[in-house]
Structure 1
Amino acid sequence: MDIFDMFFGGGGRMARERRGKNVVHQLSVTLEDLYNGVTKKLALQKNVICDKCEGAGGKKGAVEKCPVCKGRGMQVHIQQIAPGVVQQLQTVCLECKGQGERINPQDRCTSCSGAKVLREKKVIEVHVEKGMKDGQKILFHGEGDQEPELEPGDVIVVLDQKDHGVFQRRGHDLLMKMKVQLSEALCGFKKTIATLDERTLVITSKSGEVIKHGDLKCVRGEGMPIYKAPLEKGTLVVQFLVVFPEKHWLPLEKLPQLEALLPPRQKVRLTDDMEQVELQEFNPAEQSWRQQREAYEEDEDGPRTGVQCQTA
């Protein structure tokens, strides 16, 4: 056996030990699907070995070794690129298109036309378990394309979670934002939360408790189910956004009554060397201050890049 046969002539034995390529499919799921678990059907197009010729491609004895590449599927060409220097090029055999064999047209299988495989539609059921996550893979062993003398590869389903309108997932926890009016933030509230399994939670702020803008509170055991331990759940985290009233919501004559109920404001003692200025509305989108600053400065730790004095 020559060196070429050692690497390519034994390809038939190596092929029988090899597996076909894996096929990857994305499956779109909602956060509700991952919370409750769901079974989805996925339609696949796959190659299956032709039943009529049993993967031979033609009548018995009609398949012969390609005389051009001697069954290797590859051809080697020697090219001289300089005196005493040759280059070996390996290309796919054009006669058999890399198959290593050929079939006379009149002897080809009428079902697969000599291709040995047929394209077939198959529907598989994908069981999405509670607590699975975005990007998680579900393996279907041996459901990939079939090829003669090859073990079929696998079908790998990758979960692709859609964004949710209320909740964001962080591991086993669920995060949500909740708006509360200023009166609720100061005086207390009762709020409802619709869960991903269609229950209703009622949350209540404690008497005398003040909710600040951006405050985080949590409900233990109301997050995502733990994968493979669905009776256990993570934490539901709520971030509160305090909504302040619009301008002039309260008549001026009633402001003293409100002020009397609130913590005292800071008092400033004016002196003659102080200047009083007027606050006005500011819209960054209509100002060029930011662009001008970036043109003259780098980041906070970098040097200014504006005009500098030269030293002689």
Structure 2
Amino acid sequence: MADNKLYEALNVSRTASDTEIRRNYRKLAKEYHPDKNPAAGDKFKEISFAYEVLTDPQKREIYDRYGLKGLQEGDNNFAGAEDLFGHFFGGGGPFGGLFGGFGGGGLRHAQRRGPRRGENTVHRLKVSLEDLYNGKVSKLQLSKNTICTACGGEGGPAGALQPCRTCSGRGVKVTITQLGPGMVQQMQSRCQDCDGEGEVINERDRCQVCMGRKVTPQTKLLEVHVDKGMKDEQRITFRGEGDQMPGVEPGDVIIVLQVRRTVRVC
């Protein structure tokens, strides 16, 4: 029987086009995004994983032919899938138990990888020794990218996005250099034409709000609670408050406390 778990996670059929998959992902990502639905973190990771597989032509082909087991065995990036799902989904959700009989013991050394995740943003907050002793609440204004609400993170109208011809939709360019007889060097770099997205959109079709960037800048005010007894260089983490990008789980905003140094003049 065909493995349809990833398609079911995105509410699409096995014959769904890239456009349908992306459209459904955007819709589900809005519904289950941790910013709007903090209790749906696992669901957001599941749909992000499904989106990552089904929008990659090579991974989708492997999945369609061999299922999740084929991804596990045929791609090192998925070789630690048993541990990955056990860690992220706790054995529950639509993927729970899928890897129970695949010989997990031999996979402990494999590379682990979850859904794509954005980088963390680090900010330093200057405080006094008195602030650390008594505690205080500071308000910090941050700028971050959020998914464009006008186009739903598509960059333009449905169907406007096309696979990048330069990298064939992979987002990376592979250069092979002949070093000598029987010796070649393979280099991989981000595709400059699509900025690593694997997709391009004509200028005339670009969303007029985000200009095809899929995200728009937003200012957000964070309340940083400095508790009594905190220390210099202690970190306060705001989960999922980093920059947003379609298909990417937002990173964290990390506030690092830094004690103001007083200079005495004799």
TM range (shorter): 0.5 to 0.7
Relative distance call for 1:104 and 1:52 in structure 2 (3 A) is same
Displacement after TM superposition at 1:8 (Å): 11
Report the Cα offset of residue 164 of structure 1.
5.2
Correspondence for 1:77: 175
CA contact 2:166–2:191 (8 Å) conserved in 1: yes
Aligned pairs for 1:163-174 (under 5 A) are: 163=261
Task: Summarize the Cα distance change of 1:151–1:58 in structure 2 as closer, same or farther, 3 Å threshold.
Answer: same
Letter in 1 for 2:235: K
Measured in 1, the distance between the counterparts of 2:229 and 2:203 equals: 55
Distance 1:94 1:9 in 2: 24
**Contact 1:30 1:164 (C-alpha < 8 Å) held by counterparts:** no
- The residue aligned with 1:41 is 139
Q: Describe the superposition over 1:31-88 as per-residue Cα deviations: whole angstroms up to 9, x where unpaired.
A: 1111111000111111111110111111111011112212111111222121222211
Q: Secondary structure at the match of 1:106?
A: helix
* Matching residue within 140, 149, 152 for 1:54: 152
Equivalent residue, structure 1, for 2:258: 160
The C-alpha deviation readout for 1:91-145, integer Å capped at 9, x for no partner, is: 2223212110000111110001111111111110101111111011111111111
Query: Which residue identity lines up with residue 250 of structure 2 in the other structure?
Result: P
The one-letter code matched in structure 2 to 1:127 is H
RMSD: 2.7
Q: Which amino acid aligns with 2:246?
A: P
Distance, in Å, in 1 between the alignment partners of 2:192 and 2:262 is: 53
**Unpaired segments ≥5 residues, structure 1:** 167-312
Match among 24, 27, 31 for residue 125 of structure 2? 27
Instruction: Say which SS state the counterpart of residue 131 (structure 2) adopts.
Output: helix
What is the aligned partner in structure 1 of residue 235 from structure 2? 137
Partner of residue 127, structure 1: 225
What secondary structure does 2:237 align onto? strand
Cα 1:164–1:97, aligned 2, differ >3 Å: closer, same or farther? closer
Q: Indicate how the Cα distance of structure 1 residues 54 and 92 shifts in structure 2: closer, same or farther if over 3 A, else same.
A: same
Partners of 1:15 and 1:43 lie apart in 2 by 32
Letter in 2 for 1:108: R
State how far apart, in whole Å, the 1-side matches of 2:139 and 2:76 are: 41
Distance 1:161 1:32 in 2: 10
Q: Judging changes above 3 Å, is the alpha-carbon distance between structure 1 residues 110 and 36 closer, same or farther for their aligned structure 2 residues?
A: same
Bigger Cα Rg: 1
Instruction: Map residues 217-236 of structure 1 onto 2, 5 A cutoff.
Output: none
Q: Distance in 2 between matches of 1:16 and 1:133?
A: 33
Which structure 2 residue ranges, 5 or more long, are not aligned? 1-57, 63-73, 79-111
For residue 17 of structure 1, give the secondary structure of its aligned residue in structure 2.
coil
User: Which whole-Å deviations, capped at 9, do the CAs of 1:131-184 have from their partners, x for residues lacking one?
Assistant: 111011111111111111111111110000123589xxxxxxxxxxxxxxxxxx
Q: Which residue identity is paired with 1:46? A: K
What does residue 67 of structure 1 align with? 165
Describe how 1:291-310 pairs up with structure 2 within 5 A: none
Identity %: 52
Q: 1:115 to 1:72 in 2, by over 3 A?
A: same
Alignment correspondent of 1:247 = none
Decide which structure has greater helix share. 2
Amino acid at match of 1:113: M
For CA contacts below 8 A with separation 6 or more, give which structure has more relative contact order: 2
TM-score by length of 2: 0.56
Pair 1:91–1:19, CA change in 2 (3 A):
closer
Aligned partner of residue 110 in structure 1, secondary structure: coil
Contact 2:145 2:215 in 1 (8 A): yes
Instruction: Give the counterpart of 1:89 among 187, 207, 212.
Output: 187
| Equivalent in 173, 198, 204 of residue 106 of structure 1 | 204
Normalising to structure 1: TM-score of the pair? 0.48
Given candidates 151, 154, 159, the residue that maps to 2:249 is 151
